[in-house]
Amino acid sequence: MTLEYLFFQLRKIDLHFLNRGSTQPRLTQTDLKIQPLALPPTELLAVFHGATRNLYRRVDELHAESRTLAAVRDTLLPKLISGELRVKHAEPFSQRVGA
């Protein structure tokens, strides 16, 4: 069974038919539980996991770095705008915040 086949099967589910909400589209757990779902063989899942494990790890690292950079920005920007801190003094300060 290939991934293309799985995606083809998922596209066949008529999610619009299952919609229960009038203004906010909604699917219930019961709706989803009655849908047939083709699962790939364990061996294929293992291959996929092996191929993507490092990619997901890198995504997690980049999210952590993004949060750190946002914290540095949120700490430095008000000080830079107010004149309390000059750009030439910001580097040592940002290293303390990011640590």
Residues 57-66 have pLDDT tens digits of 999 999 999 9
Higher pLDDT pick, 8 / 31: 31
Q: Are 54 and 84 in contact (CB under 8 A)?
A: no
pLDDT in tens, 40-59: 899 998 999 999 999 999 99
Whole-model pTM? 0.49
Indicate if the pLDDT at residue 7 is higher than 70.
Answer: no
User: What distance, in Å, lies between the first and last C-alpha atoms of the chain?
Assistant: 47
